[in-house]
Structure formats: structure tokens, C-alpha cells
A and B are shown apart, each in its own frame.
Chain A
Amino acid sequence: MFHSETGVFKTSYAADMALFPLPVARWAIAGLAALFVGVVPLMFTPYLMTLLNLVLIAVVGAIGLGILTGYTGQISIGHGGFMSVGAYTAANLIVRLGLPFWLAIPAGGLMAALIGIVVGIPSLRIKGIYLAVATLASQFIIEWTINHVTWISGGIEASIQVPPPSVFGWKLQSPVQLYFFLLFFAVLAIVATLNLMRSRIGRAFIAIRDQDIAAEIIGIDIFRYKLYAFAISSFYAGVTGVLYTYYLGIANYEQFGIDVSINYLAMIIIGGLGSVLGAVLGAAFITILPEATRLFLTDFGGALFSPDTIRRLVPNLTLILFGGLIIFFLIVEPEGLNRLWRNIRNYFRFWPFSY
């Protein structure tokens, strides 16, 4: 187990591109799998499971946004809109046609991908801040459409109730049951993205991000690959929307506002742009941060502040921390939590020969 290399010795492309470059990585994955499948559901209370479930949903969305923003370099602040497209598509199919989850989830994703392609069309001509504003517009257009077209929104307060997902006749309702349901999709998203990024399409994305003119010159059809990026990314967002819908038992577009889009951007910035692990870490960090701040202050802040002060302090402190952390990471560690992890890992990889 504890073996350390004394350098990087790779003799083939296959070895360079392997998912698990070291045997220890295989062991780590096996260990993590045992932890998340076996230990966590037994050890965690329902409340912690709830937190973890929200992290898992956020992981799918953050990875999706990471494909577009982190890997392809196209900024989007309209991801909340794509999530509501997925949510309402699935909710309507579930309620009207009684589709099971294994059809509703891809259907929601595909509809979001379709809308994502339309939104992505301007990306050939416009870049950076201009593209951001175009995606922002899509966010508002989608919100407006759902709010005003009752055929989509179902009529009452623009929300559609859906029954819980059922597997082989089992209704998944408790936090632990939903945990396995969500874990499946989170793992699927992680594995799919890791492999996507090792493929021709993934390399094209990265080439476009690094220098789009150069990418075009070496023969990458920029327009097509940018649309691929938008489609795949919105597919993930759509699936996130459906998972949310199943998790909450309700599709409601007010949950997918502009603040959600910003939150997801924060996740991938803090986690580290252009890495799957970064998206996972960022999603976990941003989801847990407000709860951790609150519990920390309510349990340990009593010595310094009165209860009333704590109540007023907590929500605002969370916002300050949120903004402060984004600035902190942008300045001090633009590659985010992912880079911190890599630093630690690389230190031990060649240990004790750290240079």
C-alpha cells in the first residue's frame, strides 16, 4: 500500500491517460465506495443524510457547469433556468403520462439540452461578459415563460407535485433511500465526466478554452463543439432539476432563480475550474458552509454574543463568508480546493523525496 514513486515514469499515452495512475488510487476508490455505500448510511443521522443528499444533487449540477465554464471556458449564469426546464419537463411527464424516473430523468435532461443548444448559439459570436449577459437573458426568459404558460407550470402557484420515485415497486421516501438514488446519479455524473474529458470531445473542449483560434486552426469545429458543451452542460443541469424535483416532491421555478446560478458558479470557482474533483469539493463546501457557520456560532458563539445578536449575525456572516471566500480563492488560489488537494497529494506522492 504505502509505496512511493521517485519520479514520473510513463512510457505510453494509455498510462498517461489512465483513470487510476497508481494502485493506491484504486484502493482509495474502493475505500471511498465502502465508506459512502456501507458506513455513511449507517452512521449518519437523517439530518446529516439530508445535507449529504443536497450535496449530491449540487455535485451533478456543479460538474455540469464545470464542463461548460471550467473545461470549455464559456461562462453561463443561466444554469438555474436550465434546471427549471428539466424540472418542469420531468414533472409534466411524470404527472400526465406517469413516466418512471428512469425515463423522466433523461427526458428532463434532453429538453434542457435542447434549450441549452438554442442559448449556446450566440456563443460562436460573443465571448466573455457578453455571453454571460446572453445566458442571463435566457434565465429570465425561461422564468417568465414558466410563470405565464400555465400549460407548463400546472396552474396553482406554478408548482407541480410529483410522487416519489419508485424502484421495483419500492417508493423511495426516507433520506437514506433517496441517498442511494441520488448517489447513483452523482457517481454516474462523475464517471461520465471523467471519461468524457479523456475523449476526443473533452480534448476539443480544453483546446477551445485555452485558445479558440488555435483550436480552430488545428481543425476543431468550434461552433459544433461549443454547442456540444452547452448541450452536455445543460443536460446535467436538467438532470439536477429533475433530481431536485424528486427530492422535494415538487417542481417550482422559484427554487431555480438567478441566485442559484450564481451559487453554482461559486461552487466551481471555489472548488477549482476545470476539474471534476473541484466541482465535487466546491458543491460540498458551498452546501455545507451556511449550516456549519450557523451550528458553529449557535454552539460556540454563546460565550461572546447574546442569542439575539447571534440570530442577527449568522445569516449575514454566512453572506460575508460566501463573498469573502470567492474573492480569497480568486486571488490566492485560483485553482481552488482542487489545487489544495493536489498540493497535499503530490507532497506525499514523492515523499520523502519532495523535490
Chain B
Amino acid sequence: MTARSTGFIALTLGAALAGACAGSARAGDKTIIIGMQCDRTGPTQVVGTSLCPGTHDYIDLINSQGGVDGWKIDVPEVDTAYQVPPAIEEYEHAKQEGAVGVMIYGTPQTEALNQRLEQDKMPGTSPGFGIAASGDGHYYPYLFPIAANYWSQGAAAVKFAKDQLGGSLKGKKIAYIFYDNPAGHEPLPVIEDLAKIEGFQLQTFAVPPPGVDVSSQVLAIAQQYRPDFVIDHTFGKSPALVIKGLKQNGYPLTHVVALVWASGEADIMGAGGWSVAQGYNTMQFAGAGENYPVINEIKAMYKKEGKAPPAGMQSTVYYNRGVQQGALWVAALKNALTLTHGQKPTPTDVKKGFEMIHDFTLGGLNASLTITPNDHEGGGWVRIFQVKGDGFVPETQWFRAYRNLVVAREQKTAEQMAAKAN
């Protein structure tokens, strides 16, 4: 390599270093910072590319209306590509910039950050993933799942199957097809407990990572086991393959219910479009579709600015979850600002703000959500949307199931974890 090209590289490196050092020149006077972790690249990018714009759009909407009590919100985003080290870096960076909390994305990331959150007394959200036991706010004071966790989702899926099969599951057969990683295993203990209580037969079908081939599992379900109902808890590329495979093998999709991460538009498109997936039941913790006041407000904001709405908006399931995430943070900030009488809230204030969220519906985008110091999950509400025509149609009201069982398990596990950590 010549001296000249060496010089060029040195220059590039210098520029990069300068960038690394100049990071902390943000934060105006009346700005509240919330760290945000996304994955627009990596294995679950199909979620991040729609969810993150949703959150940003909602925050932009609030800022365009003057912010929260005059405070503007800044949400510096970092792409973690579903890896843990960038999540730690971004967390420390956000903390240094004076963030009042952090939106986490990913189960391992949530677990890795949990101790730091407690140590720094910094609230973090993990909607729909993360540590199921963290719904128990007593043992996980700074972690807020703010949406139905995997146990609530599993319980709701069983309840839905029960209702669809005429009110009793006695002697019925249920297949559980899942992505073979820790998050995929997570709902299993609850479903196994319910199998005993409700008296149904349960068989599990694991899809090994990276989940790009489900043909043998689908064949085993549709041709051999022939269950009365299928619970689908796969991620990434697999849900589309499950839909397509079950359809090809003649299994009725109306007897399939997907948990929240197998329920996006991308999964339907990957399976071959709406016409293929007719009848497929999807579980949501934020409403699907575009027909919500807040979505119209965001559209109006873009129209006023003369810009086209972002492409991510078409993927309503994940986009709406992003909006919901942003809205819950804004609600928590609003509560925190009433506590501080308009002074800049501390992370602890924001934690208290979350725990004051009461009957929060966001114009029907989510269930009436109430977060308390004990219940950080917000009740564990979900709603089933069925694929009908060219979109998702609500099949049930917002509901939750076997709540006592889920809460008891949360508490028991949290106690065990706490005992182990000390």
C-alpha cells in the first residue's frame, strides 16, 4: 500500500474519530431525551423498519403540537441489529446525554440491560418481548413490558381456541409450533399448565433457527397429528412459511392463531398475499389497520408538511405498535411533568409517570391500559384480528384470559429470580 493511500485511510479514521468525540453536543434547554433501540438491520428487521418510524412519527406529531407541556422530546435512535453490545453502548450513550429512559428492542437486550436499569434507576420498555416475569413491578421496578407478555399471549391463545371450538377443550388436540429459541419456548409452561387444567392434548413442533424451512413441521401437523387448533409462535421468515404450508396441506387457517410476532402484514405478504391467508387469526396488542384517530392525525401532519407518509405506515401492525410505544412514553412524561410541576423530570419521575397510566386507550388503538406499581404489563390485554378480504378485521373484543394463573407465575418466577440474584 502506498503512502498516499495510507494517508487517505488515516484521514478517514480521523474523521470517524472526530464524529465519535462530537457526539454530546445536543440537548437544548427544554428537551427531554429518550434513548431508542431499533433493528432496521439484522434478523428481525421486518419489525424495526415499520415499528421505529411509528414511534418517531408519534413523537414528531407531539412535538409539532408544541411538545408535552412545552417540553420537546428527542428520541435518538440506534440500530442494534439484534445484537447485545450495541444495545449497551446506546444505553450508556443515552444515559450520558441525560435520557430519562430507554426503549429497548429484543429479548436478550432486555435481559442484559435489566441490571443496569435497576442500578441507574432508569425506566425501560420492552413491549411484547423480554422477560415475561417482569410484568411484576415489585421485583422488576424499572422494566416496563407495557404490553401482553408471552405468558398472557399463550393464555389468550388457549382461550381463543376454546371459544372457537365451542367452549370446551376437553379431549381436543392442540399443536404448538414455535421458533426454537428462548423466546419461542417462553409461552410453553403456561400452555402446558392449561393443557392439564382444560384437559386438552398438546404436541409441540419446533422450528430450528434460522427458520427458513418449516415443511416437515407443517406436514406433521396437517397430515399426521391433525389437531383441532394450531398456536403459531414463530418469528422472522417462518410465519409466512407456516401459513403457506398449512394452506397447501389443506389445514383450515381459521383454526390457527398466531401470537404477536407472527401477525404482521409482512407475514401475510410472504405467504402469498391476503387471498392465501384468508381466515388466519392474528393476535395483536396494538390494533391493526389504519382506522384510528391518531393515525389520521399523523397523516394530516405529513399532509401539512407536504410530504408523503413513510412507507413503513403500510405495515400497520408494526407501525401501530411503534405509535403505541411512543404514545405510552408521552403519557408517562405527561404524568411525570404533573409530579414535577413542569420541571424537567428525572428518570425516577418517569418511572412513577408510567405507573400512573390509567385507562389509556389511544382512541381504540389499544385496550384500556392501566399500569400500576405492581402490574407493569398493563393488564395483559390482546385482541384477535382475522384476515378477511384485504386486511385485518377484529374477531374479538380486547380480552385477557387465565389472568390469575399468569400473574401467579409472574410472581413465582420473579421471586425465584430475585432469590437467585442475591
**Residues of chain A whose beta carbon lies under 8 Å from any beta carbon of chain B:** 45-47, 49-51, 54, 95, 143-144, 147, 153, 156-159, 161, 163, 173, 175, 247-250, 252, 254-255, 259-260, 287-300, 307-308, 311-312, 314-316, 318-319, 332-333, 339-340, 343-344, 347
The CA of A50 and the CA of B53, in the complex, are separated in Å by: 28
- Contact call B413/A299, Cβ cutoff below 8 A: no
**Residues of chain B whose beta carbon lies under 8 Å from any beta carbon of chain A:** 1, 3, 5-6, 9, 15-20, 22-25, 38-41, 49, 52-53, 56, 76-79, 81, 83-86, 88-89, 92-93, 95-96, 107-108, 111-112, 114-116, 119, 131-133, 180-183, 185-186, 208-209, 310, 413, 417, 420-421
Complex interface: chain B residues within 8 A of A46 (CB): 92, 95-96
The CA of A247 and the CA of B113, in the complex, are separated in Å by: 11
- Contact call A252/B84, Cβ cutoff below 8 A: yes
The CA of A103 and the CA of B282, in the complex, are separated in Å by: 49
The CA of A347 and the CA of B1, in the complex, are separated in Å by: 13
The prevalent SS among residues of B at the interface is helix
Complex interface: chain B residues within 8 A of A95 (CB): 420
Complex interface: chain B residues within 8 A of A248 (CB): 84, 88, 112, 115
Complex interface: chain B residues within 8 A of A175 (CB): 92
Complex interface: chain A residues within 8 A of B413 (CB): 156
B282 CB, min distance to chain A CBs, angstroms? 24
A309 CB, min distance to chain B CBs, angstroms? 11
Complex interface: chain A residues within 8 A of B20 (CB): 288, 291-292, 295-296
Tell me whether A250 and B420 are in contact in the complex, defined as CB-CB below 8 angstroms, given that A311-B77, A315-B41, A343-B1 are known contacts: no
The prevalent SS among residues of A at the interface is helix
The CA of A252 and the CA of B132, in the complex, are separated in Å by: 16
- Contact call B93/A47, Cβ cutoff below 8 A: yes
Knowing that A248-B115, A312-B49 touch, tell me 18 more A-B residue pairs with CB under 8 angstroms.
A47-B92, A47-B96, A147-B180, A157-B111, A163-B421, A173-B119, A249-B115, A249-B116, A252-B112, A252-B182, A254-B84, A254-B107, A259-B83, A287-B85, A295-B23, A296-B20, A316-B41, A340-B6
Complex interface: chain A residues within 8 A of B209 (CB): 143
Complex interface: chain A residues within 8 A of B16 (CB): 288-289, 292-293, 296
The CA of A307 and the CA of B20, in the complex, are separated in Å by: 18
Q: Which of B1, B5, B131 has its CB near the most chain A CB atoms (within 10 A)?
A: B1
- Contact call A47/B95, Cβ cutoff below 8 A: yes
Can you spell out 6 A-B residue pairs with CB atoms less than 8 angstroms apart?
A47-B96, A158-B185, A250-B114, A298-B76, A311-B77, A340-B1
The CA of A204 and the CA of B39, in the complex, are separated in Å by: 45
Complex interface: chain B residues within 8 A of A250 (CB): 111-112, 114-115
The CA of A250 and the CA of B115, in the complex, are separated in Å by: 9
The CA of A312 and the CA of B112, in the complex, are separated in Å by: 25
The CA of A163 and the CA of B18, in the complex, are separated in Å by: 36
The CA of A290 and the CA of B87, in the complex, are separated in Å by: 12
Tell me whether A316 and B40 are in contact in the complex, defined as CB-CB below 8 angstroms, given that A147-B180, A291-B89, A311-B77 are known contacts: yes
- Contact call A45/B181, Cβ cutoff below 8 A: no
- Contact call B417/A161, Cβ cutoff below 8 A: yes
B72 CB, min distance to chain A CBs, angstroms? 13
- Contact call B77/A308, Cβ cutoff below 8 A: no
The CA of A299 and the CA of B133, in the complex, are separated in Å by: 39
